[in-house]
Amino acid sequence: MSKEGFVYILASKPNGTLYIGVTNDIVRRVHQHRNGEGSDFVEKYDVTRLVHLEHFDDIEDAIRREKQLKPWRREWKLELIREHNPTWDDLSEEACRTHGPR
């Protein structure tokens, strides 16, 4: 059985520095980022606001999507965020409620 996966975008602030990642546990990964674990880039630039999240039933699909998004031009990434989260809300609480332990 395949494991679910998530592609996520973190931002330092609205229209700020962006970080794209993939994980099989979004709650754990956001917690790690907020505690300065797992990514020197995230820690250096204080990129901790979860502004975009895509859920996949299969982690391999999430990995493919991450590889698709990473080379995108910055403006395309900003537009993707604005399209789904126009106010740049931090989606971490919603992600924890929706994808946390059941």
The pair phi, psi for residue 86, each rounded to 5°, is -60, -25
pLDDT bracket for residue 21 (50, 70, 90):
very high
Largest CA distance in the chain: 38
- Predicted confidence at residue 37, as pLDDT, reads 86
Token pair, residue 55, equals: 């859920």
Cβ partners under 8 Å of residue 91, min gap 6 = 50, 51, 52, 53, 85
Q: What is the pLDDT of residues 30-86, one digit of tens each?
A: 999 999 887 899 889 999 999 999 999 999 999 999 999 999 999 999 999 999 999
* Domains of the chain, start order: 5-99 (3.40.1440.10)
pLDDT band, residue 2 (cuts 50/70/90):
low
Q: Is 80 exposed, middle or buried (0-12, 13-18, 19+ CB in 10 A)?
A: middle
- For residues 10-37, average pLDDT: 94
pTM, entire model = 0.94
Return d(Cα 60, Cα 33) in angstroms, integer.
22
